[in-house]
Structure 1
Amino acid sequence: MENDSDWKWPFAARAAALRRVLLSDYVLNGVSATFGFFLVAACTHLAFGETVAVNASVGAIIALLPDNVRPTRGHFGYLIAAPLLGLPLFLVVQLLRPYPIELGLFLVPATFVAFLATAWGRRGMPIAAAAMFAMLLAMAPLPATSIHEALLRTVGCALGAFLYVLYATASGRILNRRYRAQAMADLLFSIAALMRTHALRLTAGVTDPDGTELKRQAALADQMQQARDLILERPNTRRRQRLAGMLMVALEMRDHVIVGELGLGHAESRPADVLQRFGALLQAMADDVARVADSLLLGRKPAPAQDHGPALEALRIRAQSGINPEATEQATRNQAALIRSATTRFSDQNRDACQLAALARGDTEPDLSAVRTSWHLFVSPTYWSLQPLLRLWHWRQPVMRHALRAALAIGAGYAIALFIPWGSRDYWVLITIVVVLRGNLAQTLERRNLRVLGTLVGSLLAALLLASQPPVVLLLVVVIVAQGVAHAFVARRYLVTAMAGSVLGLVLANLLHASGHPAFDFADRVGDTLLGAAIAWAFSYVLPSWERDQMIGRVQRVCKAAARHAERSLALAALDEITAQPELAWRLARREAYDALSALVQAIGRAPVEPRAVQPPLDDLKQLQAHGFQLLGQLSAIQSLLLLRRERLDLAVIEGPTAGAALQISRTLDLSQPAETAPATAEAADETAHLSAIPEDLPDPMVPDSSPWLLRRLALAVQLAGALRSDAERVLAQLRTPRDEPQPPSQPTGRDATPLVPQP
């Protein structure tokens, strides 16, 4: 029976993973896009015939590119931007198609204008893609024989685009309720995965030498913002408020997971059996969180989470009774103190898991005092502002350089495609350039590899399908399904998108040919893809925006955000009662701190593939990001003490040191001031001296007062701020040194690095 269970477990895990993918928000969005695409194609085919239906399908493709999981506020204004920009380009390309030289001269500036939409970040990228696809898909059919035919094609394209915009606006409102639950479930799965990773580090001693954990934290920050945009939009119904309350708990869980990381470096100070117990309890909590997420996907009421409080209390009592009788008295107390500290942190995570399940079940009311009326401060803007566009007109701006780079690549690709001996379809070469060429080298290389592999598989499938000469209706169905699959996985599994996109492009191009041309040659399509990928790769080195060029601003942002977060977090100690306004300010500062570190971690992850001569000081940057997350962890631990264990604190004792720590951290991380600044007042000097006088021995675990623990964490936070400042100055000095001059020495890392004060 045991062997049978072991044999079945991997299949059960894979089945659960597949179920979660199929029930995810991005798959539902792909299904919705597929259905909308089908409605547009079917209605126009029944009403106006095959030719109009094919052109309407192109319009629907242009309109559905920006149709992703978004809040309902401003959805129509966002969707309509794609056809408004793309349709004029579609018409001009139709008119210039018989004139290759004039068309090439138009494609270059039009590409530059289209790529300027990326100035709005992720929000503008689908609009830029829609504009480019409008031009390039207009090149797929045979040239129009007259202006009248070009206008008819454009009218059909416009009809399909506007019909889809109306459909997508309505479907977005209908599916918004489901999208909220799916976004919350997806976020909980990510948090549960982090908890399992930490449990594995406790039980098996697994380390993280390549910084995978920090990359996950950075990805989680982006995922949380996407969840905020959906879930915090108008929390004016009971169900929306329950999901918003769960999101607030998830934010606290993220903090507590980071705080839990602080003590993993002291695992060797604790008995192995205690570590195993902690790891097993954390694994069980992660399972509880995942079960809540599954219940959201399935629309079921979850079971109550198991309360692990008694087990944690037993571990704490065992620690206080004396764990290692052979050790010295202080060593025994330190070991007991470490276990008490870990028990407290795991108790916070246990409380979060129980509260999460209770909210999902409707057993408790959510606490939304900080976001009930200020939710708009936490969500991304939905309006189109001119400020991003006005700020990019500078030679060193990455968006400006990327737009110029893309325009030059499209011009070169079009010129080469005109003279290829194997009769290349120029639009396919150009589409490959558009989807492969990214704003940085790392993403370009990743897209290049996935695009080539996906094209090999997808083109083979499309060639086999077209060789059988199926009826037009079947080809339209294939186009619809392929578009839905490509749309669903574009941000999650681009290989699937590349395969589906190849099928879509080849079949749709076959439909657009008035001559009813049979199946495209497989070798030609692969050759076009390889050519487009090679051109995109080559032009990624033209007018490059290396990560080094943006790193100074990212480092400064991290220090500024960390100082602001410390100021807002530690200000809670001076309040007799925590009200909504200071909590709101602290939450906004915390979000900016995580966002700043997330941007830094992602940039560090992209830099290693760039030429060594232009790489930033990666070792020092990795140390800076580690200290940044450790500082966030200490501030989160302090905040937990101030909010959750306020009754165990002596406010008269901690108020002065807390204010002094806030002042010292703020001054330390102010990069515009000298590194060492004397305290401005005698009171601040006394507070700083008090912090430095905290003993190295851990607080007595037998004393219920939590004030010594808070004072110790204040001291550690001040020290981490100093380490972060040193890292930042060292990195900035190297970044500001011309590349042909000797670089300042890097701080040793790994075994040679100077260790920090223990961080229980």
Structure 2
Amino acid sequence: MKLLAARMSRVALEAHARAILRVLLSYYMTNGYAVALGYLLISAGVGLVLGTEAGAAAALGAVVAIPPDVAGPRKGKFRQMIPTPILGVPLFFAVQMLHSSPLELGILIVVCTFVVFLGMAWGKRGAPIAIALMFAMIFSLAVPPNEEVKRLSAALSVTGYFALGAFLYVLYSCIVHRWLNPRYRVLLLADTLLSLADLMRLQARQFGEDTPETRSEAAGGLISRLLARQAALADQIQSTRDVVFESPDTLPRQRLAAMLLHVLDMRDHMIAGALDLDALKQHAGHHSVLAQMHDMLFLLAKETDMLADAMLFGRKPERPMDHRAQLESLRWAVDEDAMQSDPNRLITSRNPSPDALVHSLAERMANLNDEVQRLFALARGEGKPNLAAVRTSWHLFVSPVAWSIKPFYTLWSWGAPALRHAVRAALAIATAYVISLLLPWGTHEYWIFLTIVVVLRGSLAQTLERRNLRVGGTLLGCVLALSILSLHPGYLAMILCLTVAQSVAHGLALRMYLYTAVAATVLGLIQSHMISASSSTVFALFERTVDTLLGAGIAWLFSYVLPSWERSQIPNLVRRVVKSQIDHARTALDLIQLDAVDNTPELKWRLARKDAYDSLTALVLAAERSLKEPRAVRPPLQPLELLQAHAYQMLAQLTAVKTLLLMRRGNLNRERLEQPLTRAMERITNLLSGKEIIIDTIDADEPAEPIREPTFAPGPEHVPQGWDADLMPWFERRLEQAILLAAQIRKDADQLLAK
């Protein structure tokens, strides 16, 4: 017993150590290390050459230039970085000039806050720049005016050093980012593989034993967690696409790009993996099969983890075991006696037999196994990348790097979330400014502003999360900063502490914000101590804590002012989901791929599939955020959850059809397929667009009945084998289910749009 306990403890310890190493070697921490090195070189270098005051001001310039510096494509890096110093330096100088004019300073800060926060309309590209510009104003407040020098001369001097640090960091960032690009490609793909493995383990729970407890979990949180994890993975895949699909002009880059394509295929196989699971659970004798599939998913997830770890550590992965033979024999693992006595054992194309369902599930599991084998072969340098499908059109799959004026035109509507958020932020900063003037100390009023900027988000859910983490992180950071400053470190020692804090604060900002809050507190307190070493450290810690509580409270209060409740965004997101499902259905069921001489039709389908995933991701994330909002303003959750589930199921059904068309296009009878595919495409389009009146809809998992009349005539069950080219019964089943799901999606959408 003691040996078993010791072994379990050792395994748990190894798992924790492996998890820590994955974080330390990740792309976001690698980005944090690069950021910290740039901060160290600039702050220490300028300080040693021009003096400590110049070094401190240059360090502020570097800190302001840092937020937009994230792992991304090489192209457009300079255009992403340069707006911050160009716009931030004038803001810094203006605040310096108005230090002794409270009224004018307050007006400047409030007006600029409103204008800067309008930049949130540019999404992930605009938000870091908006935050950086706010930092430029706030950190300028942190620099005390030099009373011994004329105001203009003092402002020009400190602003010059600030600008030097900011522009030096932009130059450093562009150079280092280009040098790190090959490593970022590997690390982003490895992180995506780890997320994919986690999703596989979560999906494996669907194959667990069918008990009242598991049925309750499936009906409750499991499906929601799966949808949320799928949405997070889709967002992560897009970030990886932007880097890995850029300029695949060398063999190593082509291998990584090909691996990402296999990851996309694995995601499709996983979504389709549970298509027939509920139908199989209606029959007896399936428990041993599902248990083996459950174990197989965990095994494939473990192998995916092993590949990701090898990539993180720069090792050549060991060749994995091929499980296809085991999966091929899995279809015979059904309890035949139980099956023969099963009253639900039907043999129609509309209701396949249990052994056919088992084979279908096992085949999709085998497809996952094959993709894992291909991933390892590419990573080991044994497989040749097949990039013909998207080789000439990769630019269509990556995010644009050029700035567009279009978001500016969407701002000028009172319901625009970015406009309301800008007004909300300006009012919060104005309130904080008035409070800071009334405080008995008032020496570090910028701490209140800083807390508001990092806590106040566009939605209540994000604001609440940031509020709690910010307060907790500040308290821990104050204790850590007091411990460091009590040792009376020298200038270089403090620069080293700031470097480590900057690395953690930037690297974990989007992953583990609690650690970012701790590091940011240490960064702010030590930076403040360097700027004004005469102040009391203990009192500064007390002031920092109180100001953080005030800032968090103000941000929380103003999150209810002119709120952009998710309910107001849901209708547009629902319409986008329906439209993307129509586009995906048209491309997935188009027979042009069978006659094409190139991969243009397949590329069109991949783009439509990407848009369908993106639209669903936006809807799932909005639904998640709405759960933190007041109950009275929440959208109707039941039709919202049903719409998400039905849309994912429809994606899975049509992806399964398209995959069969692509894999068997050389062996398919076009004449037999044309009529059912065309009819299905027309009905799905009409149902989703509302042109066909829905007389009766049912749940797609129930025994299928036609919506209006039988779409396909039932025929004898035909279990598809690896060598079988006649897959019409399965095409008919998938198409019938897709039509039923289209009706359900329209019904769910109508309920949401009617609210």
TM-score (norm 2): 0.92
Equivalent residue, structure 2, for 1:471: 490
> C-alpha distance in 1, partners of 2:158/2:481?
25
1:722-741 CA deviation, whole Å, 9 max, x = no partner?
1000110111011xxxxxxx
For residue 658 of structure 1, what is the amino acid of its counterpart?
L
* Equivalent of residue 602 in structure 2, options 583, 586, 608: 583
For residue 414 of structure 2, what is the amino acid of its counterpart?
W
Equivalent residue, structure 1, for 2:277: 264
Compute the displacement of 1:697 (Å).
7.9
Q: Does 1:302 align with 2:317?
A: yes
For residue 201 of structure 1, what is the amino acid of its counterpart?
Q
> C-alpha distance in 2, partners of 1:589/1:706?
25
> C-alpha distance in 2, partners of 1:647/1:554?
39
For residue 607 of structure 1, what is the amino acid of its counterpart?
S
For residue 95 of structure 1, what is the amino acid of its counterpart?
M
Contact 1:570–1:659 (8 Å) recurs in 2: yes
Equivalent residue, structure 1, for 2:748: 727
1:508-563 CA deviation, whole Å, 9 max, x = no partner?
11212275664543322111111000100111111111111111100000000011
Equivalent residue, structure 1, for 2:672: 653
> C-alpha distance in 1, partners of 2:131/2:730?
53
Contact 1:469–1:518 (8 Å) recurs in 2: no
> C-alpha distance in 2, partners of 1:571/1:701?
22
> C-alpha distance in 2, partners of 1:144/1:650?
84
* Equivalent of residue 527 in structure 1, options 525, 542, 546: 546
Equivalent residue, structure 1, for 2:250: 237
1:251-309 CA deviation, whole Å, 9 max, x = no partner?
01001110013233245335211111111222221122111111111112212232111
For residue 693 of structure 1, what is the amino acid of its counterpart?
F
Compute the displacement of 1:391 (Å).
2.1
Equivalent residue, structure 2, for 1:459: 478
Greater shift in the superposed pair: 5-14 or 328-337: 328-337
> C-alpha distance in 2, partners of 1:503/1:95?
28
> C-alpha distance in 1, partners of 2:138/2:593?
61
Equivalent residue, structure 1, for 2:235: 222
Equivalent residue, structure 1, for 2:510: 491
Greater shift in the superposed pair: 408-417 or 690-699: 690-699
Compute the displacement of 1:202 (Å).
1.6
Q: How does 1:59-458 map to 2 (within 5 A)?
A: 59-145=61-147, 146-204=151-209, 206=214, 207-208=217-218, 209-210=220-221, 211-266=224-279, 268=281, 269=283, 270-318=285-333, 324-327=339-342, 330-331=345-346, 334-423=353-442, 425-458=444-477
For residue 320 of structure 2, what is the amino acid of its counterpart?
A
Q: Secondary structure at the match of 1:256?
A: helix
Structure 1 residue runs without a partner (length 5+): 678-686, 735-760
Structure 2 residue runs without a partner (length 5+): 696-705
Greater shift in the superposed pair: 694-703 or 455-464: 694-703
> C-alpha distance in 2, partners of 1:101/1:601?
45
> C-alpha distance in 2, partners of 1:203/1:650?
39
Contact 2:509–2:516 (8 Å) recurs in 1: yes
Compute the displacement of 1:696 (Å).
9.2
Contact 1:193–1:286 (8 Å) recurs in 2: yes
Compute the displacement of 1:576 (Å).
2.9
Compute the displacement of 1:688 (Å).
10
In percent, how many aligned pairs have the same letter?
A: 45
Compute the displacement of 1:85 (Å).
1.3
Q: Secondary structure at the match of 1:616?
A: coil
Greater shift in the superposed pair: 524-533 or 691-700: 691-700
1:217-260 CA deviation, whole Å, 9 max, x = no partner?
01011001001001000111101100000000000100111001
For residue 599 of structure 1, what is the amino acid of its counterpart?
A
- In structure 2, the CA distance between the partners of 1:302 and 1:418, relative to structure 1 (3 Å rule), is same
1:550-594 CA deviation, whole Å, 9 max, x = no partner?
111000000000110111111146623573110111011000000
> C-alpha distance in 2, partners of 1:731/1:428?
42
> C-alpha distance in 1, partners of 2:730/2:334?
17
Alignment: residue pair count: 724
* Equivalent of residue 23 in structure 1, options 19, 22, 25: 25
1:33-89 CA deviation, whole Å, 9 max, x = no partner?
011111101211121111110000000001111111111001011111111111110
Q: Does 1:539 align with 2:590?
A: no
Equivalent residue, structure 1, for 2:738: 717
> C-alpha distance in 2, partners of 1:19/1:468?
30
Compute the displacement of 1:410 (Å).
0.5
> C-alpha distance in 1, partners of 2:60/2:564?
33
Greater shift in the superposed pair: 40-49 or 488-497: 40-49
Q: Secondary structure at the match of 1:669?
A: helix
- In structure 2, the CA distance between the partners of 1:319 and 1:698, relative to structure 1 (3 Å rule), is farther
Contact 2:653–2:734 (8 Å) recurs in 1: yes
For residue 261 of structure 1, what is the amino acid of its counterpart?
A
* Equivalent of residue 642 in structure 2, options 620, 623, 642: 623
- In structure 2, the CA distance between the partners of 1:399 and 1:149, relative to structure 1 (3 Å rule), is same
> C-alpha distance in 1, partners of 2:401/2:344?
61
> C-alpha distance in 1, partners of 2:344/2:113?
73
Contact 1:424–1:528 (8 Å) recurs in 2: no
- In structure 2, the CA distance between the partners of 1:712 and 1:322, relative to structure 1 (3 Å rule), is farther
Compute the displacement of 1:472 (Å).
2.4
Compute the displacement of 1:185 (Å).
0.5
Compute the displacement of 1:420 (Å).
1.7
Compute the displacement of 1:329 (Å).
9.3
> C-alpha distance in 1, partners of 2:317/2:596?
34
Contact 2:304–2:372 (8 Å) recurs in 1: yes
Q: Secondary structure at the match of 2:504?
A: helix
For residue 411 of structure 1, what is the amino acid of its counterpart?
A
Equivalent residue, structure 1, for 2:39: 37
- In structure 2, the CA distance between the partners of 1:690 and 1:414, relative to structure 1 (3 Å rule), is same
For residue 339 of structure 1, what is the amino acid of its counterpart?
V
> C-alpha distance in 1, partners of 2:103/2:188?
48
1:450-502 CA deviation, whole Å, 9 max, x = no partner?
00000010012112333443322222221121111100000100000000001
> C-alpha distance in 2, partners of 1:585/1:651?
20
Equivalent residue, structure 2, for 1:682: none
- In structure 2, the CA distance between the partners of 1:628 and 1:652, relative to structure 1 (3 Å rule), is same
> C-alpha distance in 2, partners of 1:321/1:363?
42
- In structure 2, the CA distance between the partners of 1:697 and 1:728, relative to structure 1 (3 Å rule), is farther
Equivalent residue, structure 2, for 1:557: 576
Q: Secondary structure at the match of 1:421?
A: coil
Compute the displacement of 1:632 (Å).
0.7
For residue 719 of structure 1, what is the amino acid of its counterpart?
L
> C-alpha distance in 2, partners of 1:221/1:142?
46
1:639-659 CA deviation, whole Å, 9 max, x = no partner?
121122345644322221011
Compute the displacement of 1:670 (Å).
1.6
- In structure 2, the CA distance between the partners of 1:477 and 1:574, relative to structure 1 (3 Å rule), is closer
